[in-house]
């Protein structure tokens, strides 16, 4: 391995110094030094969801005296809700890594593990934005090797996809050299994406806080393409079908529904099935489902066909469909109006929290309130069987929090996800008092 390491170091150094613009293949080179300046993304280019929590300190979701504050403030690692298949999304941005002398790489590894520990019991997707890795901030090969070994089976088992965005020849060569260390099963989970638009197959790009440098680089390599090789942009969304259930406002679904309480059809179907078949399923809501089946069920609902989960006998499919329905609402169940209040809910004194939640939920439209109450009562039944299904209120809050609320730009960051999950946990802990007449 030592000789291979030497070859790779030479290869990487060659790439690092060659920053001369060339052809459309320019995106295969290691990113140039960008004048050796390492500013954070301009505040103006950040999403509202990023800037709402800036008061916590330099972009960190942690207090200044937290042992991981120095790492978290760079926002190298983020959590971005769920992908299209119900899996948690973890994002790692290389361009946000400062030079070696400003970053403790061992501490970064521990922080990454600390973040993943909250999600590794569930299926998850890891997205790695490679642009911005240079000879100034790249970790050593020995660190990469140790990092792979540090992540034991607990972390590797439930990662369903490792997506490398804007890969270079360095990354591809690195993976070849590390092939003896990487299991065949894990290797099959790795995929390359050359343009941001290709992420649409995996998740909604707007839910990611993509660094401005990555967006600018993506635009640059698109412009460098010949007209015949241009990557097609995502087509505009087609108008909703007459019976569409996904991506439709709750107020519209209420008008169509014959349900006396105004509960959306997808919520009623999935929850009733899960009550019968899923309450004692270990890891309910933590597993992903067959991609083709998820799309098929969505198409059936949207075309007005009946969906019978009892015939399919797939608890995880019904669980993913429920989360997908909530995530695809044009406005979150808890509404944009309550976003700032919920983000700041952690500052409310414990004795006032139930009253505060009741006052906030009183501002919801009737159909939102009814759906949230119905969902919360069901999740209380799930939590009551946590000795079997391993899903207590804290775990359920991690799963459902990002599906109940997001910012108006749809972007999700660790700065927001913590307070949202905290609010959701408190809501579930006190659901009887909150929803009492």
Instruction: Please spell the DSSP secondary structure of 91-157, one letter per residue.
Output: EEEGGG---GGG--HHHHHHHHHHHHTTTTTS-EEEEEE-TT--TTTPPPHHHHHHHHHHS-HHHHH
Q: Are strands 159-165 and 77-82 parallel, antiparallel or unpaired?
A: unpaired
d(CA 20, CA 31): 11
Model pLDDT, residue 13 = 43
Handedness of CA 340, 344, 350, 352 (dihedral sign): negative
Report residue 312 as tokens: 């399919």
Residue of 307, 310, 283 whose CA lies nearest to 294? 307
Q: How far is CA 31 from CA 129, 165, 214, 223, in A?
A: 12, 13, 11, 17
Model pLDDT, residue 12 = 44
d(CA 119, CA 114): 10
What parts of the chain have a pLDDT lower than 70? 1-61, 181, 226-239, 410, 437
Q: Are strands 77-82 and 88-93 parallel, antiparallel or unpaired?
A: antiparallel
Model pLDDT, residue 64 = 80
Q: Is 382 exposed, middle or buried (0-12, 13-18, 19+ CB in 10 A)?
A: buried
d(CA 29, CA 171): 10
Residue identified by tokens 């934005």 is 129
* β partners of residue 165: 129, 193
**CB of 118 closer than 8 Å to CB of 280:** no
Q: What spatial distance separates the first Cα and last Cα of the chain, rounded to whole Å?
A: 68
**CB of 317 closer than 8 Å to CB of 293:** yes
Write the CB contacts of 53 (distance below 8 Å, at least 6 apart in sequence).
61, 343, 413, 415, 416, 419
pLDDT tens, position by position, 164-182: 999 998 888 878 877 776 7
* β partners of residue 161: 125
Model pLDDT, residue 2 = 42
Query: How much is the pTM?
Result: 0.73
d(CA 404, CA 425): 12
d(CA 177, CA 158): 24
Q: How far is CA 273 from CA 16, 23, 391, in A?
A: 56, 55, 17
Model pLDDT, residue 254 = 92
């Amino acid at each position: 391995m030592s000789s291979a390491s030497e070859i790779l170091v030479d290869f990487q150094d060659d790439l690092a110094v060659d920053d001369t613009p060339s052809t459309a293949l320019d995106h295969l080179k290691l990113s140039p030094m960008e004048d050796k300046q390492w500013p954070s993304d301009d505040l103006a280019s950040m999403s509202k969801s990023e800037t709402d929590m800036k008061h916590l300190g330099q972009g960190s979701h942690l207090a200044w005296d937290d042992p991981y504050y120095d790492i978290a403030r760079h926002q190298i690692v983020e959590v971005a809700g769920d992908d299209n298949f119900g899996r948690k999304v973890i994002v790692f941005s290389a361009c946000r890594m400062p030079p070696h002398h400003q970053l403790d790489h061992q501490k970064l590894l521990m922080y990454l593990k600390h973040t993943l520990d909250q999600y590794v019991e569930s299926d998850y997707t890891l997205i790695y934005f490679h642009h911005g890795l240079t000879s100034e901030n790249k970790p050593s090969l020995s660190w990469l090797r140790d990092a792979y070994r540090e992540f034991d089976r607990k972390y590797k088992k439930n990662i369903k996809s490792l997506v490398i965005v804007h890969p270079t020849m360095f990354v591809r060569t690195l993976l070849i050299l590390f092939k003896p260390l990487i299991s065949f099963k894990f290797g099959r989970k790795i995929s390359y994406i050359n343009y941001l638009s290709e992420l649409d197959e995996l998740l909604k790009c707007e839910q990611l806080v993509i660094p401005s440098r990555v967006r600018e680089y993506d635009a640059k390599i698109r412009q460098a393409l010949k007209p015949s090789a241009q990557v097609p942009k995502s087509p505009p969304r087609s108008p909703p079908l007459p019976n569409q259930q996904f991506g439709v406002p709750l107020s519209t679904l209420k008008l169509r529904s014959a349900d006396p309480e105004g509960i959306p059809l997808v919520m009623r179907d999935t929850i009733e099935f899960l009550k019968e078949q899923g309450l004692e399923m270990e890891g309910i809501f933590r597993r992903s489902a067959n991609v083709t089946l998820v799309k098929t069920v969505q198409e059936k609902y949207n075309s007005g066909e009946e969906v019978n989960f009892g015939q399919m006998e797939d608890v995880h499919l019904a669980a993913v469909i429920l989360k997908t329905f909530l995530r695809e609402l044009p406005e979150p169940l808890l509404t944009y109006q309550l976003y700032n209040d919920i983000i700041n809910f952690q500052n409310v004194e414990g004795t006032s929290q139930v009253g505060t939640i009741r006052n906030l939920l009183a501002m919801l439209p009737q159909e939102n309130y009814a759906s949230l109450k119905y969902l919360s009562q069901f999740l209380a039944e799930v939590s009551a069987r946590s000795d079997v299904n391993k899903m207590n209120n804290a775990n359920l809050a991690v799963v459902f929090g990002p599906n109940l609320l997001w910012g108006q730009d749809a972007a999700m960051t660790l700065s927001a996800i913590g307070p949202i999950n905290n609010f959701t946990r408190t809501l579930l802990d006190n659901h009887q008092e909150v929803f009492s007449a």
